[in-house]
A and B are shown apart, each in its own frame.
Chain A
Amino acid sequence: VRGYSRGSALSTAPPTPWLLATDNIPTMRKPVLASSILGGRITTSTFVLEQPRCSFTGLQDDTVIWLVVALPEAVANFSNNVKPGGLGREFQKFPHSTLAYMTLNTTILNYPCNKNSRDITVLRVGSETRCAKDESRPTCNGPLPGPGPYQVKFLALNGSEPVAQTNWSDPITLRKAQPSSSISLMDSRHSGSMIALTAILSILFAILLAGLVTMLLWGSDTRGVSSTFSKPEAVTVRRYNTHHVYDQTAARL
C-alpha cells in the first residue's frame, strides 16, 4: 500500500462528525480524489485518493484504518462488522462473487494531522500487482478489474470493532481505453500549398514542352540554310535571235 508525500500545501478543515443510525460510530466527511495536477490521478485500473489525515480525531493509537472499495449497489447494505478479507470481502473474488473488499490495513499513526505540512499526501488504490491473483492475500490493494464506478470509504477498526468511519465517496469512474484501431487516419487531406505547387509546375512544364515543339518546327523553317534546301529555280536562258544580232552590228557599221 503506497502513500506518497511531496510538495505543495494541503488545506484541512476540522471534521464535523455526526452519528450514523445503525452503527452509532462517528462518521467523518467522505474521501476525495487527489488533486488534478497529478497526471495519474485516474488511470484504467488505479485511482489516487487523499490520505485520511485529520479525518479521524480522538482515536487510540492502535486503531487500524481500512479502505473499503465497493460497487455502488453494495453501499446500501454494507455491514461494517464483516472481518476484512473474510467471506464476502476477498479482493480476488471482486466483483464477481463479492461486491466489496477492504484493504490498506495501516495504523492511524501513519496519518498524523500536520496542519502546516506542505506535502502532497496521497494514497494510490490499485498499486499492488504482486498479490492480485494470490488468494492468500484477500486484503490485497490490487488493480481494479474494470472501469467501475466504485465508491470508497475509510473504516477505523480497533481489533475487530468498528470505531469510526467516513461517509461513502462520490462514485469514481476509471478511464476506459479505446482500441487503437479506432484512430482515424482519414483526416489527412491534400493541403492547398501542395495543390498550388503541382498545378504551377505542371503548367510550367507544359509551356516548356510547347516551347520545345515550337522551337523545333519553327526554328528549322526559316533560316534553313543547311537544314532544308529549297527547290532550286529552273535556270532560264534567254534565247538570242542571232538574226537580230547580225542586223544590229550591220546597222552600226
Chain B
Amino acid sequence: MAKSEGGMRILQGLLVFGNVIIGMCGIALTAECIFFVSDPHGLYPLLEATENDDIYAAAWIGIFVGFALFALSILGIVAVIKSNRTLLLVYIILMLITYAFEMASCITAATHQDFLTPNLFLKQMLERYLKSETDNNNDKWMTEGVTKTWDKLMLQNQCCGVRGPSDWQEYTSAFRKMYNDADYPWPHNCCVMNDQGSPINLDGCKLGVPGYYNNNGCYEAISGPMNTHAWGVAWFGFAILCWTFFVLLGTMFYWSRVEY
C-alpha cells in the first residue's frame, strides 16, 4: 500500500499545483475581459450598430467565468488536501458547468471575429455616418454612435474611410446625400487639421494634395484592437480550458481512488 500511497501523494501535489494555476489564470481572464469590456479604443458603437456585438457578450461571460475559476480552484485545493469525496464531487460538477460556459465564450468570440471584415465596416460607415433622417430612436442612437466614433477615429489616427478617401467616391452614402461632392469630396475630418481643429488648407484637402488630406484607410485602426479582443478572449480561454481538462481528469481519477 506504500507505493500507491506515494502515488496518491504525488497526484495530490499535482492537483494542488494544477488548481493554483487555474486560480491564477482565472484572475488573469477576469482582468483581461474587464479590459476589453471597458473599450479603451471606443470602438463599441461600431459593433453595436452592426447588431452583432457578441464578442462583447463573450468578454462579459469571461469576467464571470474567470472569477468562478478562481473560487473553484480554492475549493479544489481544499477538497484535494482533505481528500473529501463529497467536496471533490461538488468541485468536479461545478467545474464542468464553468467549463461549459467558458467553452461558449471562446466559440462565440472566435466565430464572431470572422464577421468583422472591411466590407462590414465600409457598408456601415456609408449607410450611417452623418445620416440625417433616422427612422426611430434606436436608429438615431446607432447613427450618432457611428458618427462620433468615425469622427474620433479619423482625427486621432489621421485616416479616412475604411480603405481610403476613395470609399466616399466609389459608393453612394448617407453623407453624400447631405453634402455635395464638389464641396465635400470626402468628410472634412479627412483633412489634416491644425491645432485649432480646422483644416490647414481646405482647397488642398478637396483637391487631394498629399500632405493636406489623410490618404490612408482606418481599417487597421479598427481591426487591430478588435482582433486582439477576440483572440484574447478566444485563445486564452482555450488555453485555460486545455489545462483545466487535464486537472479535471486527474481529479476524477483521484476521486475514484479516495476511500471514505
Which residues on A are within 8 Å of B, measured CB to CB? 2, 4, 6-7, 37-41, 43-46, 48, 120, 122, 124, 126-129, 142-143, 175, 177-180, 182-185, 187-191, 193-194, 197-198, 200-202, 204-205, 207-209, 211-212, 214-215, 218-219, 223, 225-226
Report how far A211 CA is from B92 CA in the complex, Å.
11
Q: Are B171 and A183 neighbours in the complex by a CB distance under 8 Å?
A: yes
CB within 8 Å for A180 and B117 given contacts A129-B180, A218-B256: no
On chain A, the residues within 8 Å of B208 by CB distance are 38-41
Q: Are B96 and A209 neighbours in the complex by a CB distance under 8 Å?
A: yes
With a 10 A CB-CB cut-off, give which of A124, A143, A194 has the most chain B CB atoms: A194
Interface contacts beyond A197-B110, A198-B110: sample of 9 additional A-B pairs, CB < 8 Å, sorted by A: A38-B208, A40-B208, A178-B172, A180-B123, A185-B120, A190-B111, A201-B238, A211-B248, A215-B255
Task: Say whether B213 faces chain A, with CB atoms less than 8 Å apart.
Answer: yes
Q: Are B106 and A201 neighbours in the complex by a CB distance under 8 Å?
A: yes
Q: Are B182 and A143 neighbours in the complex by a CB distance under 8 Å?
A: yes
On chain A, the residues within 8 Å of B203 by CB distance are 2, 4
Please classify the interface of chain B as helix (H, G, I), strand (E, B), loop, or mixed, using the class held by over half of its residues: helix
Task: Say whether B81 faces chain A, with CB atoms less than 8 Å apart.
Answer: no
Which residues on B are within 8 Å of A, measured CB to CB? 92-93, 96, 99-100, 103, 106-107, 110-111, 113-117, 119-120, 122-123, 126-127, 165-166, 169-173, 176, 180-183, 185, 203-204, 206-210, 213, 215, 234-235, 238, 241-242, 245, 248-249, 252, 255-256, 259-260
Q: Are B111 and A219 neighbours in the complex by a CB distance under 8 Å?
A: no
On chain A, the residues within 8 Å of B169 by CB distance are 43-44, 175, 177
CB within 8 Å for A120 and B209 given contacts A6-B204, A189-B114, A208-B245: yes
Report how far A129 CA is from B184 CA in the complex, Å.
11
User: Which of A129, A175, A183 contacts B183, CB < 8 Å?
Assistant: A129
On chain A, the residues within 8 Å of B126 by CB distance are 180, 183
On chain B, the residues within 8 Å of A7 by CB distance are 209
Q: Are A219 and B255 neighbours in the complex by a CB distance under 8 Å?
A: yes
Number of A-B contacts (CB under 8 A): 152
Q: Are A129 and B117 neighbours in the complex by a CB distance under 8 Å?
A: no
Closest chain A residue to B213 by CB distance? A39
On chain A, the residues within 8 Å of B183 by CB distance are 129
Q: Are B245 and A207 neighbours in the complex by a CB distance under 8 Å?
A: yes
Q: Are A46 and B256 neighbours in the complex by a CB distance under 8 Å?
A: no
On chain A, the residues within 8 Å of B116 by CB distance are 188
On chain A, the residues within 8 Å of B106 by CB distance are 197, 201
User: Which of A142, A175, A185, A215 contacts B170, CB < 8 Å?
Assistant: A175
Query: Can you list 19 A-B pairs with a CB-CB distance of less than 8 A?
Result: A2-B203, A45-B180, A46-B181, A46-B185, A124-B207, A143-B181, A177-B170, A179-B171, A180-B123, A180-B127, A185-B120, A188-B116, A190-B111, A194-B114, A204-B242, A208-B249, A212-B252, A215-B256, A219-B255
